[in-house]
């Protein structure tokens, strides 16, 4: 009896079909929403997911200012930046960040869940976050993501 061998096909540009998704951040928990977004950006929702190839979709997040933090995170969570100069460390509380720049909160949460290499940086470029309900990507016909 002959041995049948089936080759597993690795994802490439010919196979990958990229779609656009819209996520409404209204009353959604930051971490849970971010992990789902990171999974879609990586392409883990596809049957042909390949770890070493960017087979993810584009994600648009609207109403970023209405995202929810559970527990005391709104008052306790800190966002740190450091300019590498003496005295260049800045600490901003989540409550200040959500009023000043809520898009940055979601972007940082998702970026931390992506791979830390050039592949992860390419995946991160497919994320678009907007504070209001409007976005300029109507021509891509994005699907609503629950």
- Tens of pLDDT, residue by residue over 49-102, are 999 999 999 999 999 999 999 999 999 999 999 999 999 999 999 999 999 999
Check: pTM over 0.85? Answer yes or no. Answer: yes
Quote the number of domains for the chain.
Answer: 1
- Tens of pLDDT, residue by residue over 34-47, are 999 999 999 999 99
Residue 3 maps to a domain: no
Enclosing H/E stretch for 78 = strand 78-82
Residue 62 maps to a domain: yes
Residue 47 maps to a domain: yes
CA distance 6 to 59: 34
Residue 136 maps to a domain: yes
Residue 5 maps to a domain: no
Confidence at 11, pLDDT banded by 50, 70, 90? confident
Residue 145's pLDDT is 87
Domain that holds residue 52: 20-69+100-144
Which domain CATH number covers 49? Answer: 3.90.1180.10
């Amino acid at each position: 009896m002959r041995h049948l061998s089936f080759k597993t096909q690795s994802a490439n540009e010919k196979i990958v079909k990229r779609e656009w998704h819209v996520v409404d951040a209204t009353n959604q928990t930051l971490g849970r929403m971010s992990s789902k977004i990171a999974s879609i950006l990586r392409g883990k929702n596809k049957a042909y997911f390949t770890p070493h190839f960017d087979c993810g979709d584009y994600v648009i997040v609207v109403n970023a200012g209405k995202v929810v933090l559970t527990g005391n995170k709104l008052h306790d969570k800190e966002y740190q930046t450091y300019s590498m100069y003496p005295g260049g460390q800045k600490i901003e509380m989540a409550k200040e960040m959500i009023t000043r720049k809520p898009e940055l909160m979601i972007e940082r949460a998702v970026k931390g869940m992506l791979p830390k290499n050039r592949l992860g940086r390419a995946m991160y470029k497919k994320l678009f976050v907007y504070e209001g309900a409007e976005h300029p990507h109507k021509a891509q016909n994005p699907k609503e993501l629950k």
